[in-house]
Amino acid sequence: MSDEEAPVLIVGGGLSGLTTALFLAWRGVPALLVERHPGPSFHPRAHRVNERTMELMRAIPGLEDALVDAGPWAIEDFAMVIGMTVTGPEMHRMNLAEEAEAVIDASITPVRVSSAGQDQIEPVLLKFAKEHGADVRFGTELVSFSADDSGVSAVIRDRTSGSSQTVRARYLVAADGHRSAVREALGIGTHGVGTLSHNVNVTFESPALPRFMKGKEATLYYLRNPKFTGSYIGTHIPERGSVSFDYDPAKEPLSSFDDTKCIQRVRAAFGVWNLEAKVVEILPWEMASRVADRFRSGRVFLIGDAAHQMTPAGGLGGQTAMQDGYDIAWKLAAVLQGSAGAGLLDTYEDERKPVAEVTVARTVVNYIERLAPHRTDVPRDVKADNIGVTIGYRYRSRAVLTEEPDDGLPAENPREPSGRPGTRGAHVRLERDGIPVSTIDLTGEEFVLLAGPEGGAWTEAAGQTDAPLTAYRVGGDLVDVDGNWAERYGVGKAGAVLLRPDGYIAWRSAEGADEPATVLEKVLAQVLQR
């Protein structure tokens, strides 16, 4: 007999775990989350909530605003600089708002991007998760677990009182980081390039920072000089910054990095040898490139760093983690609430593992180009460009009715959407009852069927199904402001598109059908695996 029960037990309260807890709770599934640390992250670590992640976050009223407000800078001001020192000449500067290949503008998505660091993002996710009914317990660790055909039994322990209790859950989500004890217990290995470098993050404070960084507050520096190889970025506190640098443990043991030595590295990064500064926190970490061999074992799922570890070059680690959390949350909720069959959960690994493989490979290339051009020992496996892995990645699974021929590409250019199943539903400007709305805003809570102006038979068919589905007719219920909906989704006037809760296209019909209700029922039965 267990002390308590929960539909889902989440182990780990970082970006991926909190996102999972939030979106489960928002969908009416009050998960239990345990995190061994006493509170959210203190160190900035991952930065930004990018466009694709924000499209998912935007579904919850007020969350996009809260995440944007948490950021210290307007994202339009953000720049990336490559140089020798922070105060020295710039070898290369890339302003994201001016770099054509990097720009994801209003023609691609209506969302805003947040410049917040992980230490600012996590409290926002925590607040919203609790408000929606998630049970989040910091200072609580997983001691052990066992899984069977009907669920997972776990022992958790309060690290302050030392008291333990048993929990019985239908599913367990492992969000416990790259050293995942859950993954290790399951015997799931990893593959990839492996360790690229050993690093130390130093958060520090200096009264001189506002003077040195005036006009350059929103800048990420990649630095390389004889005394320092690493990066620098500011924080929401003007006098506080963060450097990250690599070291050789064979020559410098980690224990040697005391406050004095770390301040010397800070000074080397700035090229100012008399810089007055004090250490706030020292955080060792390993830069690595790895992907778990499996993302699922029975009723246990791996997400975030437990499933994949990538370099910070490109800022994609935190984004991928949050997107994992969203994906497993909507699928678990659908199964637990009876609208989908258990087979839908198989699509988590089918969809998210290929995305992780491509994204991890991209961040290795980013690392080499920005910090380690001398690393000829590391393979440059370019599967997709940065915009592709940010907002153009594709899904292939039983929850998508893939069209043939399939080109097999891992991503598509979001500026040239195809409307093919397995791709993200493109942003199209619409009006509903005179109010501007994007196709992005229609999804989130449930499935959405969009039919053309002569597709009334499809919307009628949607009304006959018991699936969680809302239907609209573009050219009827919705006004196509720019007249480009049919082109961007690849359908005719009588055609239709089925969008999943994550905004991905599950199926489309270019035109009408003789028996639309029968067709739609078969489509939903496959997508929902019921």
Render 265-299 in DSSP notation, one character per residue: HHHHHHT-TT---EEEEEEEEEEEEEEES-SEETT
> Among all residues, which ones are annotated catalytic?
222
Q: How far apart are CA 84 and CA 255, in angstroms?
A: 27
Q: How many CA atoms lie within 13 Å of 152's alpha carbon, on the beta-carbon side?
A: 26
**What's the pLDDT tens digit per position in 468-503?**
999 999 999 999 999 999 999 999 999 999 999 999
Give the ranges where 27-97 is alpha helix by DSSP (H). 51-57, 63-70
| CA distances in angstroms from 188 to 147, 184, 292, 294, 354, listed in the order given | 15, 6, 7, 6, 17
Other beta carbons within 10 Å of 284: 12
CATH 3.40.30.120 fits 424-527, yes or no: yes
Q: How many CA atoms lie within 13 Å of 114's alpha carbon, on the beta-carbon side?
A: 29
pLDDT of residue 99: 53
Q: How far apart are CA 21 and CA 137, in angstroms?
A: 11
pLDDT of residue 372: 82
Q: Is 334 exposed, middle or buried (0-12, 13-18, 19+ CB in 10 A)?
A: buried
Q: How far apart are CA 9 and CA 137, in angstroms?
A: 11
Q: How far apart are CA 112 and CA 451, in angstroms?
A: 28
pLDDT of residue 1: 66
The owner of tokens 């924000």 is 54
| CA distances in angstroms from 528 to 392, 403, 465, 522, listed in the order given | 23, 18, 13, 10
Give the ranges where 371-425 is alpha helix by DSSP (H). 386-387
- Low-confidence spans in the chain with pLDDT less than 50: 100-101
Look at residues 201, 191, 172, 199 and name the one whose alpha carbon lies nearest to residue 12. Answer: 172
pLDDT of residue 96: 64
Q: How far apart are CA 262 and CA 58, in angstroms?
A: 39
Could you tell me if 501 and 330 are in contact, meaning their C-beta atoms sit under 8 angstroms apart? Answer: yes
Tokens of 313: 């070059």
Q: pTM of the entire structure? A: 0.94
The owner of tokens 């001016």 is 98
Q: How far apart are CA 53 and CA 114, in angstroms?
A: 10
Could you tell me if 171 and 11 are in contact, meaning their C-beta atoms sit under 8 angstroms apart? Answer: no
Tokens of 391: 């907002």
Q: What's phi and psi for 289, nearest 5 deg?
A: -130, 105
pLDDT of residue 380: 78
Q: Is 50 exposed, middle or buried (0-12, 13-18, 19+ CB in 10 A)?
A: buried
**What's the pLDDT tens digit per position in 330-378?**
999 999 999 999 999 999 999 999 999 999 999 999 888 887 888 888 7
Q: What's phi and psi for 125, nearest 5 deg?
A: -60, -40
Q: How far apart are CA 432 and CA 163, in angstroms?
A: 54
Q: How far apart are CA 489 and CA 36, in angstroms?
A: 46
b/e burial code for range 439-463 (CB count within 10 A of at least 16 → b): bbbbbbebbbbbbbbbbbbbbebbe
pLDDT of residue 219: 83
Q: How far apart are CA 265 and CA 227, in angstroms?
A: 7
Tokens of 135: 């049970």
Using DSSP, state whether 521 is helix, strand or coil.
helix
Give the ranges where 89-180 is alpha helix by DSSP (H). 118-131
Q: Is 270 exposed, middle or buried (0-12, 13-18, 19+ CB in 10 A)?
A: buried
Could you tell me if 82 and 370 are in contact, meaning their C-beta atoms sit under 8 angstroms apart? Answer: yes
Could you tell me if 195 and 322 are in contact, meaning their C-beta atoms sit under 8 angstroms apart? Answer: no
Q: How far apart are CA 268 and CA 84, in angstroms?
A: 9
pLDDT of residue 134: 98
Using DSSP, state whether 117 is helix, strand or coil.
strand
